[in-house]
């Protein structure tokens, strides 16, 4: 997008085209204005439009331009933190509400895909969280215990089972979560946007919001080409927030994530690597993630930005890592390299903000955007529609606060990932 092959890489190359949209021109009105056409924004728009509510989405670039279209495409349940940690931070009431929504959140994504016939390379076979060492084994065993207490279909795989399902012998154990799956993420968010449009929502792309303010009893959002007046505003631009309410960006530490895709593998090699289509990630501090796409490409991801010196360091690391995991690959060619940013919070939980009347924002998915963004977008729609009060929501309303030492921490993650990916230093 915007002429940059490193922004969306393989996903832009293989996704169906986006639904036809135009930039906002002139002045218009809506019941609800949504800023951002990612998972949360498009899901909120879809569920509002299905209720007959007049909704307009303002997107600065294109549907899925932000983190949604650059995602690794894993549709996982829950959040990064374990269920017990989530309840400890949020307390028993909000903790249980959020867990109740997210324990089977992939199911909601799959139902939307099937209902709206979204062509996004859906695979429902589960994902595998791989243990990198003894500490990792203890971690995934505790995760499994906590999810099993809630009746979730998860189980521990031993080394032989991990090798059978992944094709590599580097991991001593893994956590198989049968609730989960994978999608082509840009295709999914474009399909979600198309579903919202089909339900009656208007989506304006190439329409960055430059100003927002109250005008009498309504909100007015200005773009370079026009304006929208609306009773309600939902801010869903997360870590890609730029012009309005910059606190939504500065309260998060942005972490770069890159992905590199090989050329399609031969049939013989393909059958020996992730043969059942599982996606994986591991327990390393700087993790390694693996998945395949419908054409048989192998995709590796990790922390890092493909810019400056990172453009050489990270692809070289990826090549070494793939050879060590899968010697049968040989000298495989790389076809696509891309990266983006995820917004992280100090406790790895999202934030719900309501800084003014009829203005609500949800940010901080910490790399778990597909299922939570879709489900929580639906819940935002329920609140805006008057079905759920703010006190009955899935998170308590929190104040906007800048993350301490944010810029230093962001530089640390980018530079630290390069150090971790230099031979002999990891």
Question: Which residues make beta-bridge pairs with 343?
Answer: 254
pLDDT at 210 (0 to 100): 95
Average pLDDT over every residue of 121-136: 97
Q: In the predicted model, is pLDDT for residue 318 greater than 60?
A: yes
Q: What is the pLDDT of residues 150-206, one digit of tens each?
A: 999 999 999 999 999 999 999 999 999 999 999 999 999 999 999 999 999 999 999
DSSP annotation of 265 reads P
Distance CA 202, CA 311 (A): 38
Count of domains observed in the chain? 1
Distance CA 255, CA 343 (A): 6
Q: Is residue 217 part of a domain?
A: yes
Residue 323: pLDDT band with limits 50, 70, 90: very high
Q: Is residue 265 part of a domain?
A: no
Distance CA 369, CA 71 (A): 8
pLDDT at 303 (0 to 100): 98
Q: Is residue 390 part of a domain?
A: yes
User: Could you tell me whether strands 202-204 and 55-58 are parallel, antiparallel, or unpaired per DSSP bridges?
Assistant: parallel
Q: Is residue 44 part of a domain?
A: yes
Please calculate the CA angle 12-17-18 and round it to the nearest 5 degrees.
Answer: 100
Buried b (16+ CB within 10 A) or exposed e, 281-295: bbbbebbbbbbbbee
CA distances from 327 to 170, 283, 330 (A): 12, 22, 6
Q: What is the pLDDT of residues 256-312, one digit of tens each?
A: 999 999 999 999 999 999 999 999 999 999 999 999 999 999 999 999 999 999 999
Residue 213: pLDDT band with limits 50, 70, 90: very high
Phi/psi at 291 (5° precision): -160, 175
Residue 425: pLDDT band with limits 50, 70, 90: low
Q: In the predicted model, is pLDDT for residue 98 greater than 90?
A: yes
Q: Is residue 90 part of a domain?
A: no
Q: Which of 137-146, 244-253, 292-301 has the lowest mean pLDDT?
A: 244-253
Q: Is residue 132 part of a domain?
A: no
Range of the domain at 199: 5-72+186-252+346-405
Q: Is residue 333 part of a domain?
A: no
Average pLDDT over every residue of 401-417: 94
> Contact, 328 vs 363, CB < 8 A?
no
Q: How many helices (H) and strands (E) does the chain have?
A: 12, 18
Buried b (16+ CB within 10 A) or exposed e, 241-270: beebbebbbbbbbbbbbbbbbbebbeeebb
- Which residues does 212 contact at the CB level (< 8 Å), separation at least 6? 219, 220, 221, 222, 233, 244, 245
Distance CA 45, CA 130 (A): 36
Residue 9: pLDDT band with limits 50, 70, 90: very high
- Which residues does 73 contact at the CB level (< 8 Å), separation at least 6? 11, 182, 183, 184, 185, 188, 279, 291, 370
Q: In the predicted model, is pLDDT for residue 349 greater than 90?
A: yes
Mean of the per-residue pLDDT values of the chain: 96
pLDDT at 330 (0 to 100): 86
Phi/psi at 104 (5° precision): -120, 35
- E strand or H helix at 293, and its extent? none
CA distances from 166 to 272, 283, 372 (A): 8, 16, 26
Q: Is residue 331 part of a domain?
A: no
Distance CA 284, CA 277 (A): 22
Domain with 20 in it: what CATH number? 3.50.50.60
pLDDT at 239 (0 to 100): 84
Q: What is the percentage of the chain residues whose pLDDT exceeds 90? A: 92
Angle at which helix 134-149 crosses helix 83-102, to 10 degrees, equals 50
DSSP annotation of 123 reads B
């Amino acid at each position: 997008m915007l002429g940059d092959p490193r922004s969306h890489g393989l996903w832009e190359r293989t996704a169906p085209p986006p639904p036809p949209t135009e930039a906002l021109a002139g002045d218009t009105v809506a019941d609800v204005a949504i800023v951002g056409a990612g998972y949360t924004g498009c899901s909120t728009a879809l569920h509002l439009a299905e209720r007959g509510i007049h909704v307009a989405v303002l997107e600065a670039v294109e549907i899925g331009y932000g983190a949604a279209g650059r995602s690794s495409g894993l549709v996982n349940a829950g959040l990064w933190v374990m269920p017990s940690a989530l309840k400890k931070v949020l307390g028993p009431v909000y903790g249980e509400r959020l867990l109740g929504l997210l324990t089977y959140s992939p199911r909601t994504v799959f139902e939307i895909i099937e209902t709206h016939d979204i062509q996004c390379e859906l695979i429902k076979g589960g994902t595998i969280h791989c243990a990198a060492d003894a500490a990792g084994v203890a971690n995934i065993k505790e995760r499994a215990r906590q999810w099993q207490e809630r009746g979730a279909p998860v189980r521990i795989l031993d080394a032989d089972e991990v090798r059978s399902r992944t094709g590599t012998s580097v991991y001593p154990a893994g956590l198989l979560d049968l609730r989960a799956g994978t999608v082509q993420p840009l295709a999914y968010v474009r399909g979600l946007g198309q579903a919202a449009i089909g339900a009656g929502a208007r989506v304006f792309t190439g329409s960055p919001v430059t100003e927002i303010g109250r005008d009498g009893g309504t909100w007015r959002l200005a773009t370079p080409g026009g304006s929208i007046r609306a009773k309600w505003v939902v801010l869903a631009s997360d870590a890609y927030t730029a012009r309005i309410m910059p606190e939504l960006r500065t309260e998060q530490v942005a972490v770069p994530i890159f992905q590199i895709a090989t050329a399609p593998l031969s049939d013989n090699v393909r059958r020996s690597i992730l043969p059942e289509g599982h996606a994986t990630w591991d327990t390393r501090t700087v993790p390694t993630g693996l998945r395949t796409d419908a054409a048989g490409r192998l995709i590796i991801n990790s922390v890092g930005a493909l810019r400056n010196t990172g453009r050489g360091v990270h692809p070289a690391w990826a090549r070494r890592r793939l050879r060590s995991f899968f010697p049968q690959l040989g000298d495989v060619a790389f076809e696509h390299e891309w990266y983006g940013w995820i917004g992280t919070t100090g406790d790895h939980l999202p934030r719900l903000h309501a800084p003014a009347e009829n203005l609500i924002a949800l940010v901080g998915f910490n790399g778990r955007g597909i299922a939570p963004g879709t489900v929580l977008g639906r819940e935002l729609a329920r609140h805006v529609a008057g079905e759920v009060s703010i006190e009955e929501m899935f998170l308590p309303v929190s104040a906007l606060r800048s993350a301490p030492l944010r810029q230093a921490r962001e530089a640390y993650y980018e530079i630290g990932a390069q150090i971790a990916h230099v031979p002999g230093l990891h």
